[in-house]
Homo-oligomer: A and B are copies of this chain.
């Protein structure tokens, strides 16, 4: 199987397969005499694994660890669980940050008239946070 077929079968683009090989996330593929990379079902299996881990937001480094455990028949599921929950914590942290941004902005927008006048609490807040200006900016 050439790289294009492996890409189609795994959902990982040929570009990224080469990148993953180059960065050592996956072992170098076998080659034909002409230098073409050759993949088997096992390789596609691994690529699909990687694809799904990325869909779950794991970084390439995280996937490296997951792959290590995946290949380790003597792994402890506790290690996998720990990795997963650590990632969940990161996700939740990120979510909190985005949520804070969104609610802040939404609150500001609620107080913005949204008409053809220039005064707007969103810009005021960006100008000087926490201490909302009492008068509009007259320059």
Contacts and interface: CB of A to CB of B under 8 A. Distances in A.
Interface of A: 45, 48-49, 52-53, 55-57, 66, 69-70, 72-78, 80-82, 84-85, 87-88, 91-92, 94-95, 98-99, 101-102, 104-106, 108-109, 112-120, 122-123, 125-127, 129, 139
Contacts of A122: 77, 80-81, 84
A74 B116 CA distance: 9
B120 A77 contact: yes
Give the dominant DSSP class at A's interface.
Answer: helix
A76 B116 contact: yes
A88 B116 contact: no
Contacts of A45: 127
Contacts of A69: 123
A30 B117 CA distance: 33
A56 B101 contact: yes
Given A66-B126, A87-B105, A91-B101, A114 B78 contact: yes
